[in-house]
């Protein structure tokens, strides 16, 4: 089932998510719904709070590193209750977000991270990530903390964003009516 995506400036995106304690069929259905929602909206990462569930759940499914760039479900990561255990270096990447449609801007992140987390069955896992995977996981963990990538922009870039985004929302509204 597709779930509606919460978009900025909705205040629900600022909620700090809570840990998952029950790893049951309901959670599995929710993870499947998150996946369907992410794929059908051309996303590569999604946090539960973006579909109005304030729980520490995120998914990432990077495109293949080839011509087609297809997203194989075999590469889907379901990350529950993540904790960053270590980090190294810095990197800059032009990020976007399904909750901030049609806006992309450079953001600085750690280059590589290590995390502990649980999978859908509640089993303890560890992961070392670098490159786009590291960036995606940090972006999604920020969602769990109620943070959006636009909050990491410089004052000038943030002002430019607010102006562009307001103009775009006005346009969308005038097209609807």
Residues annotated catalytic, as ranges: 140
22 near ligand QAP (CB under 6 A) = no
**Sole binder of ligand QAP in the list 9, 101, 122, 146 (CB under 6 A):** 101
141 near ligand QAP (CB under 6 A) = no
Give which of ligand QAP, Co ion, none residue 34 binds (C-beta under 5 to 8 Å, depending on kind).
none
- Cβ-contact 126, 116 below 8 angstroms: yes
Which residues, in sequence order, are bridge partners of residue 79? 58
31 near ligand QAP (CB under 6 A) = no
**Least distance between ligand QAP and beta carbon 112 (Å):** 14
Looking at the Cβ atoms of 43 and 82, the one nearer to ligand QAP is 43
Going from the C-alpha of 56 to that of each of 68, 71, 74, 144, the distances in angstroms are: 32, 23, 22, 6
Residue in the structure block whose two tokens are 């992961």: 127
Name, in order, each residue with C-beta under 8 angstroms of 51's C-beta and a sequence gap of 6 or more.
Answer: 3, 4, 5, 6, 33, 34, 37
Helix (H) / strand (E) element for 158: namely helix 155-176
82 near ligand QAP (CB under 6 A) = no
Q: List residues near Co ion by CB under 5 A.
A: 97
Binding site for ligand QAP (CB under 6 A): 41-45, 93, 95-98, 101-102, 132, 135-136, 139
């Amino acid at each position: 089932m597709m779930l509606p995506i919460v978009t900025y400036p909705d205040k629900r995106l600022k909620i700090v998510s809570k840990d998952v304690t029950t790893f049951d069929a309901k959670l599995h259905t929710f993870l499947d719904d998150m996946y369907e929602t992410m794929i059908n909206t051309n996303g590569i990462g999604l946090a539960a709070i973006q579909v109005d569930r304030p729980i520490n759940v995120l998914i990432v499914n990077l495109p293949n590193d080839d011509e087609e760039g297809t997203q194989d479900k075999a590469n889907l990561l379901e990350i529950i209750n993540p904790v960053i255990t270590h980090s190294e270096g810095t990197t800059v990447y032009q990020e976007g977000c399904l909750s901030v449609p049609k806006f992309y801007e450079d953001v600085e992140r750690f280059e590589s991270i290590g995390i502990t987390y649980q999978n859908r069955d509640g089993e303890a896992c560890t992961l070392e990530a670098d490159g786009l995977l590291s960036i995606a996981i940090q972006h999604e963990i920020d969602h769990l903390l109620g943070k959006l990538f636009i909050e990491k922009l410089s004052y000038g870039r943030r002002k430019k964003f607010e102006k562009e985004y307001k103009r775009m929302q006005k346009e969308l509204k005038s097209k609807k009516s």
